[in-house]
Structure 1
Amino acid sequence: MPEQATVPAQTPALWRNGFRPFYLLASVFAALSVALWALQLAGVLVRPYLAGALWHAHELLFGFTLAVVVGFLFTAGRNWSNRPTPSGLSLAAFAALWVAARVLVLTPFGWAAALVNTAFPLAAAVALAIPFLAARNRRNYFFVAMLVLIAAAVLAVHLAQLEVIALPAWLGIQVALDAVLLIMTVMAGRVIPMFTNNGIAGANATLRPWLEKAALGSVLVLLLADTLQLGGLALALVLALGSAVHLVRWWLWQPWKTLRTPLVWVLHAAYLWIPVYLALRGAAALGLVAASVATHALTVGAIGGLVIGMMTRTARGHTGRPLLADRADVACYVLVLAAAVVRVAVPLAAPAATLHAVLGSAALWSAGFGLYALRYWPVLSRARVDGKAG
């Protein structure tokens, strides 16, 4: 079924495709939530049901990141399967469910927060499974499985917080981080070499089948190790090998040839944070660095960088605009990636300055995603400039 037949012509532009509301919601939430977390850390704000670092991690993963993942998959899933994905009222219902989940974690109603936060990724998994199964699109069943895994992880976080299960809430956070890392590893392998070769003459970004399998395998092994709560030297070895594999993979994509093309170099710069994260986390497993430094290499550097890069590219491509980053786009890239450098490098170099690094990084992150929201609000809420559906 062609895309034009899946969305009624009278549907408002904002609700015609998944990336539109979810990129807008995610960027606004990213700008506000990290600022709220910085104020909370400084003792200005106190949160009820989920508080402190757990609230911060929960919202970055199951709020911001999951919104972008679902928006992207609803958009790409329609193209991959040539079947309809949520639009119109059903897409608005998904957005409302996501907003309700963000509100409920700030209330005393723990069970309601648990149910709604679990329901969102599960409902998204079902919404993707329907077109994928209808089209027998087996290559992308993986994404349905990842959404189910993320739903299980967020449920585990809440059940632990509600003292229903005797597991640490942070285990659910770590499993969800691994699931997101696996999604990024898969998607980066599909799009970064392709975008590099399509956008830069003679780039010759290279894929090695054995290396692609090794990169995916390293994250699967890490997921298993974290599920089993492996630590110490054994975990450090897994992480060191994974870091080396991902670094070689990145190098074969010829990142130095992308420096004149911001829409491409931002993806390479973001992906580099993955081997950095794995190396730092290995060092943390040996007690050499703080674990939070490693985690933020992944969340601010890799997730933040890939998200801002893909949100600009997807929004441009799916609204009929040129695939060229303008000054506002480049400013977004620089602000978000600078937030990662400040959050990771400053605590490593000067641990006593960690609070200042957190506040500075939060300001840069909020500015980067706030700028995206302002720049792309009219783009995401209006019809395509080329008159096509989508």
Structure 2
Amino acid sequence: MSLPIFGQTPATPAPYGLPWLRLAFRPFYLGAGLLAALIVPLWVAIFLGAVTWAPTPPTVVWHAHEMLFGFATAVIVGFLMTAGKTWTGLATPRGSLLGALFLLWLASRVASLVAPYAVFAVLDLALLPAIGLIFLRLLMRSKNWRNVPLALILLLLSVVNLTFHLSANGLIDLAPMSSLYAALGFIVMIECVMAGRVVPFFTATALNIKIEPVVWLERSTLAATAIGLVLWVTGWHSGLAAAALALASVLNLSRQLRWQPLATLSRPIVWILHFSYFWLSGGLALLAVAQLGGVAASYGVHALAVGATGGLIIGMMTRTSRGHTGRALQVDAVETSAYVLVMLAAVLRVLLPLLMPAWYSYALVMSASAWTAAFLIFLWRYTPWLLTARRDGKDG
């Protein structure tokens, strides 16, 4: 069992084992969808006082931590460990090892709700280093140097998670939210890198056109985004942070406009990625304004977390789930409604309270309802597919 797990054999075996433990996207997408549908309404109920019970960590940071290190990280792990099989030609974790990794993730989520903090922290800190090292080893064995930065980001996220738990327990003099902002920054960088690869490719394929990257624009966009996020997280200089974030917003938008987003409006499986990426540019712009005291940073944070991250996640989960279960890369009204609901959740969470602050509580409830409905739709449609073998009889 150890040879295929750690990439010693070609990644083209005949189908074997439980279908839902053949590739990482299956259990981790299911877990992420379930967590997304449960945790947001629970948080809103706690925040508004409808539920008096509280999770193990402080309530506010628990919500942010679980959305980043519970929800988003599960999708990143599922996606990268599935894509890694294609990128390297080597087998990725499956079977008992994949099941153990998923159970570790699941145990961490349960522990955040009911266990002593030390138990939660130990479980929560174990997953990302393991995934990062497995992924890095695959990339190095196959000499796939292009994707090594993604493995390094996973390991850096592990360090950020450690600083979060240390600060949440008062063991280091650092605000817990600083670590969570850093985690969001790393996740946004993953989105910038991966969107720059897949969104123009998916668009070009759908529209039967050619989209050539502009090298200087791609590099400048990633550099400006990274610098802006670092300055924001560290709080080193608000003026420089505002300038860098504003530049990053403009460059990301310029980059995206070359991908012809308006031409994809008849293709929901593609336009969801474009609409989500608009939120990324918008979130960076809102953070820039926040550095100058124009708005609260929370608006930019939720534009990036709900609009960009939530939208890209549901778009990529549906697309990769269809592809890796042997189904057509076309969605119907069911999935399209989930896309619309996530975008609506972002509008209600960011724009409605920004324009009408007195409606803040109502905006939270409506946004949470739209978000929850979207991921319940995902679970209803995709759970049977993720639990059963591919339609074409192939492994995976």
Partner of 1:167: 174
Give 1:194's aligned amino acid: F
Whether the 8 Å contact between 1:110 and 1:158 is mirrored in structure 2 is: no
The counterpart of 2:246, out of the listed 228, 232, 240, is: 240
Partner of 1:218: 224
Q: 1:244: how far off?
A: 0.6
Partner of 2:140: 133
Give 2:200's aligned amino acid: P
Secondary structure at 1:386's aligned position in 2?
coil
Secondary structure at 2:114's aligned position in 1?
coil
Q: 1:223: how far off?
A: 3.9
**Distance (whole Å) between structure 2 residues aligned to residue 21 and residue 187 of structure 1:** 21
Is 1:336 aligned to 2:345, yes or no? Answer: no
Q: 1:161: how far off?
A: 0.8
The counterpart of 1:357, out of the listed 352, 363, 369, is: 363
Unaligned residue ranges in structure 2 (runs of 5+): 1-8
Q: How does 1:158-237 map to 2 (within 5 A)?
A: 158-202=165-209, 204-237=210-243
- Of residues 92-101 and 43-52 in structure 1, the stretch that sits farther from structure 2 once superposed is 43-52
Q: 1:175: how far off?
A: 0.7
Is 1:372 aligned to 2:378, yes or no? Answer: yes
Partner of 2:12: 4
**Distance (whole Å) between structure 2 residues aligned to residue 281 and residue 214 of structure 1:** 19
- Of residues 149-158 and 105-114 in structure 1, the stretch that sits farther from structure 2 once superposed is 105-114
Secondary structure at 1:105's aligned position in 2?
helix
**Distance (whole Å) between structure 2 residues aligned to residue 229 and residue 49 of structure 1:** 28
Q: 1:49: how far off?
A: 2.4
**Distance (whole Å) between structure 2 residues aligned to residue 369 and residue 9 of structure 1:** 29
Give 1:49's aligned amino acid: T
**Distance (whole Å) between structure 2 residues aligned to residue 13 and residue 345 of structure 1:** 42
**Distance (whole Å) between structure 2 residues aligned to residue 387 and residue 65 of structure 1:** 30
Whether the 8 Å contact between 2:132 and 2:155 is mirrored in structure 1 is: yes
Structure 1 residues 343 and 231 mapped into 2: Cα distance closer, same or farther (>3 Å)? Answer: farther
Whether the 8 Å contact between 1:80 and 1:137 is mirrored in structure 2 is: yes
Q: 1:259: how far off?
A: 0.7
Give 1:178's aligned amino acid: G
**Distance (whole Å) between structure 2 residues aligned to residue 107 and residue 165 of structure 1:** 24
Is 1:319 aligned to 2:322, yes or no? Answer: no
Partner of 1:157: 164
**Distance (whole Å) between structure 1 residues aligned to residue 352 and residue 218 of structure 2:** 33
Whether the 8 Å contact between 1:22 and 1:71 is mirrored in structure 2 is: yes
Partner of 1:28: 34
Q: 1:251: how far off?
A: 0.7
**Distance (whole Å) between structure 2 residues aligned to residue 113 and residue 185 of structure 1:** 31
The counterpart of 1:302, out of the listed 288, 300, 308, is: 308
The counterpart of 2:255, out of the listed 249, 252, 255, is: 249
Q: 1:108: how far off?
A: 5.1
**Distance (whole Å) between structure 2 residues aligned to residue 305 and residue 219 of structure 1:** 19
Partner of 1:346: 352
Q: 1:48: how far off?
A: 3.8
Give 1:374's aligned amino acid: W
- Of residues 286-295 and 29-38 in structure 1, the stretch that sits farther from structure 2 once superposed is 286-295
CA-based RMSD of the aligned residues comes to 1.3
Whether the 8 Å contact between 2:325 and 2:390 is mirrored in structure 1 is: yes
Partner of 1:273: 279
Secondary structure at 2:93's aligned position in 1?
coil
The counterpart of 1:81, out of the listed 66, 84, 88, is: 88
Partner of 1:60: 67
Whether the 8 Å contact between 1:16 and 1:87 is mirrored in structure 2 is: yes
**Distance (whole Å) between structure 2 residues aligned to residue 215 and residue 174 of structure 1:** 20
Deviations 1:66-102 (A, max 9, x none): 0000000110001101111110000000110001111
**Distance (whole Å) between structure 2 residues aligned to residue 43 and residue 283 of structure 1:** 31
**Distance (whole Å) between structure 1 residues aligned to residue 45 and residue 384 of structure 2:** 30
Whether the 8 Å contact between 1:178 and 1:219 is mirrored in structure 2 is: no
Give 1:168's aligned amino acid: A
Secondary structure at 1:205's aligned position in 2?
coil
Deviations 1:309-362 (A, max 9, x none): 000100000111011011111011001111001111101110111111111100
Whether the 8 Å contact between 2:225 and 2:244 is mirrored in structure 1 is: no
**Distance (whole Å) between structure 2 residues aligned to residue 301 and residue 131 of structure 1:** 32
Give 1:22's aligned amino acid: F
Unaligned residue ranges in structure 1 (runs of 5+): none
Give 2:103's aligned amino acid: A
Q: 1:206: how far off?
A: 4.1
Percent pairwise identity = 41
Is 1:72 aligned to 2:83, yes or no? Answer: no
Whether the 8 Å contact between 1:196 and 1:264 is mirrored in structure 2 is: yes
Secondary structure at 2:57's aligned position in 1?
coil
**Distance (whole Å) between structure 1 residues aligned to residue 137 and residue 238 of structure 2:** 42
Q: 1:11: how far off?
A: 0.6
Whether the 8 Å contact between 1:206 and 1:253 is mirrored in structure 2 is: no
Partner of 2:393: 387
Secondary structure at 2:23's aligned position in 1?
coil
Question: Runs ≥4 in structure 1, deviation > 6 angstroms?
Answer: none
**Distance (whole Å) between structure 2 residues aligned to residue 301 and residue 123 of structure 1:** 29
Deviations 1:98-141 (A, max 9, x none): 01111122235222222221211111101212211111111111
